[in-house]
């Protein structure tokens, strides 16, 4: 298991300094696949520390994005999300531009991982940004409006609770249908009786499933 270094980075987006929590494993000179991770509407970045560390220990350079910095937001209700979603999309685009230039990162192997609102942002950006090679989305969906602007799709892992009352499971099935129509590789797991946010027993399945998906779709090219 590689040694992981943690650091705080900043980049500019719209004239604002945006924070990234970086978890970088020792790479022995080889460029690493990268994962940009996005929190949900509650703004809980600290709650992502364990997941980021686990991915980094498996050889991924992980960057947790403080995208609320762009709008001085602490938590977001529906009105705040509608107002700021395009700005956060641009912030995520700028984050990928920053991450792809990091010396440890293989710019051809970048994925997004998002929770709830962060999943919506990840899917929206991946539909217009061909630098994104894969998305893991936890209990989110693709904004309907993006179907008008969509240029492409990439492989997606869909993870959703069947009993989610915040973001209905129909969002997962809508995304599944779209991916099938576009003949894009995907995996889907719907957890019976599970609401918005996963408990420990669900994480024991979702965690390894996420790791397998990212290893598959961010694998180093064969020489």
Q: Is pLDDT of 223 > 70? A: no
Residue 153 vs residue 222, higher pLDDT: 153
Average of pLDDT values for 146-172?
A: 94
Instruction: Give the bridge partners for 112, in sequence order.
Output: 36, 135
Q: Nearest 5°: phi and psi at 97?
A: -60, -35
The CA distance from 195 to 116, in Å, is 12
For 175, counting Cβ atoms within 10 Å of its Cβ (0-12 exposed, 13-18 middle, 19+ buried), the class is buried
Binning pLDDT at 50, 70 and 90, where does residue 37 land?
very high
The CA distance from 122 to 132, in Å, is 9
Tell me the domain boundaries of the chain.
Answer: 4-217
According to the model, what pLDDT value does residue 109 have? 98
Binning pLDDT at 50, 70 and 90, where does residue 35 land?
very high
According to the model, what pLDDT value does residue 149 have? 86
Binning pLDDT at 50, 70 and 90, where does residue 138 land?
very high
Average of pLDDT values for 180-209?
A: 94
Residue 220 vs residue 125, higher pLDDT: 125
| Count of other CB atoms within 10 angstroms of residue 212 | 12
Binning pLDDT at 50, 70 and 90, where does residue 143 land?
very high
Average of pLDDT values for 16-24?
A: 97
Average of pLDDT values for 87-99?
A: 98
According to the model, what pLDDT value does residue 172 have? 98
Q: Is pLDDT of 213 > 70? A: yes
Q: Is pLDDT of 191 > 70? A: yes
List the one residue out of 142, 38, 143, 29 whose CA is nearest residue 95.
38
Q: What is the CATH number of domain 4-217?
A: 3.40.50.1820
Q: Which two tokens stand for residue 113?
A: 């991982």
Half-sphere exposure of 75 (CA within 13 A, CB side): 3
The CA distance from 107 to 220, in Å, is 11
Cβ pair 159, 209 in contact under 8 A: yes
Cβ pair 122, 88 in contact under 8 A: no
Q: Is pLDDT of 118 > 70? A: yes
The sign of the dihedral angle between the CA atoms of 171, 173, 175, 177 is negative
Q: Is pLDDT of 222 > 70? A: no
According to the model, what pLDDT value does residue 16 have? 97
Average of pLDDT values for 1-23?
A: 95
pTM comes to 0.96
């Amino acid at each position: 298991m590689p040694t992981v270094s943690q650091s705080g980075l900043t980049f500019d987006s719209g004239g604002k300094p945006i924070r990234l929590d970086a978890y970088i494993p020792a790479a022995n000179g080889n460029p690493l696949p990268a994962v940009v991770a996005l929190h949900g509407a509650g703004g809980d970045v600290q709650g992502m520390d364990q997941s980021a560390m686990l991915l980094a220990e498996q050889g991924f350079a992980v960057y947790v994005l403080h995208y609320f910095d762009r709008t001085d937001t602490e938590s977001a209700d529906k009105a705040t999300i509608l107002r700021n979603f395009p700005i956060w999309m641009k912030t995520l685009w700028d984050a990928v531009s920053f991450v792809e230039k990091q010396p440890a990162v293989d710019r051809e192997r970048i994925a997004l991982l998002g929770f709830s609102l962060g999943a919506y942002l990840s899917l929206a950006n991946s539909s217009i940004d061909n630098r994104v090679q894969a998305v893991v989305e936890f209990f989110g969906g693709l904004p309907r409006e993006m179907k008008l602007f969509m240029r492409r799709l990439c492989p997606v892992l869909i993870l959703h609770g069947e009993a989610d009352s915040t973001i209905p499971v129909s969002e997962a099935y809508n995304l599944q249908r779209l991916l099938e129509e576009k003949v894009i590789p995907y995996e889907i797991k719907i957890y019976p009786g599970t609401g918005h946010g996963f408990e420990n027993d669900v994480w024991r399945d979702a965690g390894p499933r996420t790791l397998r998906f990212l290893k598959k779709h961010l694998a180093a090219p064969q020489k």
